Each structure stands twice: as structure tokens, then as C-alpha cells.
Amino acid sequence: MTPQRDPNARWKFVRDVLVFEAKLALNNFHNFFQIPLTVVVAIFDLIAGGKEEGERFYKLVEIGRTIDDSIDIYSIIEHRERSLNRDYTVDALVKRVEDVVVREYEKGGTAASVKQAVDRVIDEMQAKAGGGLGKAGDAMKDVADKLHEKMQKMGGDDPPPA
């Protein structure tokens, strides 16, 4: 006896795809305006100053975060386990590079020694990510092989992509 499938699962999936794409478009529209606006406000803050350094810029960024939180692009997968590795975020990369630059500067390093140190950090991160990238490549190959098998059964005879 096969387990009973949810008769509404397909329509929930279609709804999720449509909602996700609409949210991506809305978020891109938001970013389209936020990028130049934050640059202009940051320049204005540098020139005009204020009570605190960058107060207008940070206020605008807070508004942007509120908008992003309201859009909540990934809400359709809240029920799934989050797979984010905090070591490989943009913020983590920027922090590691900044730490290297500051360390080299404090040691009296030259631009060349700073460059070498930054290169070492990037090489290390790429080496650590290599295993995960290999797994992703293997998964993509498995999917391509399965698609090829399906196409073979349907009468297609194209070789699988490499």
C-alpha cells in the first residue's frame, strides 16, 4: 500500500513558486532604489555631518532592513533546516580580510605583505569550501544523470551534460 499523497501539494508548490518569484522581484525593485539612495545619503552625511557620524545613512539602512524583513523572501522554507554556514557569509569574509589588513598594518607591513596575507586568507577559505563544492558538483551530476535516464525512457538520446 503506497502512502497517501497530499492532493494539494502541487498547488501549494505552484503558489510557493509564484510568491517566491514575486518577492524576489519586489526585493530587486527595492534594491534598485536603495543602492543609489544609500550612496547619495552617505556622501551627504560625510559632507554635512550631523550629531553622529553617518546618522542619516544608518537610519536609511534600518528602513531598508525593515522593508527586507517585511518582504521576507525565504518565508516559504521556514519549516526547513537552515543550512547557512556562518563561516562563509559575506560579513565573515570581510571580517577576516579586515583582520589581516589591520594585523599587517600594526606589524608595519607593506602593501605587498598585506596582499600576501589577504591571498593566504582567501586561499584557506577556498580550500575549506572545496569539499562542499565537490559534493554540490556530484549532486548536480546525479541530477543530470537522472534527467538523462528519464529522457532515454521518453525517447530522447542526447548524452548527459558533462
Q: Are residues 45 and 114 in the same domain?
A: no
For residue 3, give the amino acid letter: P
Same domain, 76 and 89: no
Q: What is the pLDDT of residue 129?
A: 64
Give a yes or no: residue 38 inside a domain: yes
Of the pLDDT bands very low, low, confident and very high (cuts 50, 70, 90), residue 94 is: confident
Please give the average per-residue pLDDT across 48-71, as a whole number. Answer: 92
Is residue 41 within 8 Å of residue 18, measured between CB atoms? no
Q: Do 158 and 125 have their domain in common? A: yes
Task: Say if 1 falls within a structural domain.
Answer: no
Given phi > 0 = left and psi -120 to 50 = alpha, else beta, which region is 113? alpha
Instruction: Identify whether 122 is part of a domain.
Output: yes
Q: Look up the domain containing 125 and give its range.
A: 84-162
Closest to 100 (Cα-Cα) out of 121, 74, 129, 123: 121
Name the region of 23 (left: φ>0; alpha: ψ -120 to 50; beta: rest). Answer: alpha
Q: Does 130 score more than 70 pLDDT? A: no
Is 28 found in the same domain as 89? no
Within-domain flag for 55: yes
Among residues 66, 83, 100, the one where a domain terminates is 83
Cα–Cα distance, 38 to 44 (Å, whole number): 10
pLDDT (0 to 100) of residue 160:
47
Q: What is the mean pLDDT of residues 38-53?
A: 90
Residue with grid cell 557620524, as numbered in its chain: 53
What sign has the CA pseudo-torsion 140, 146, 150, 153?
Answer: positive
What's the number of domains the chain is made of? 2
Instruction: Find the mean pLDDT for residues 140-156.
Output: 62
19: pLDDT strictly greater than 80: yes
Residues 78 and 125 in one domain: no
98 burial via Cβ count (<10 Å: 0-12, 13-18, 19+):
exposed
Residue 4 lies in a domain: no
Looking at the predicted structure, is the pLDDT value of residue 70 above 50?
yes
State the pLDDT at residue 28.
Answer: 96
* 125 in a structural domain: yes
27 with 46, same domain? yes
| 78/137 same-domain check | no
Do 30 and 68 lie in one domain? The reply is yes
> What is the widest separation between alpha-carbon atoms in the chain?
73
pLDDT tier at 120, thresholds 50, 70, 90: confident
Is 160 found in the same domain as 92?
Answer: yes
State the Cα–Cα distance between residues 162 and 55, nearest whole angstrom: 52
Q: Are residues 55 and 120 in the same domain?
A: no
Q: What is the mean pLDDT of the chain?
A: 79
Rounded to an integer, the average pLDDT of 45-63 is: 91
Place of cell 569574509: 93
- Cβ density class 121-139: b for 16+ within 10 Å, e for less: eeeebeeeeeeeeeeeeee
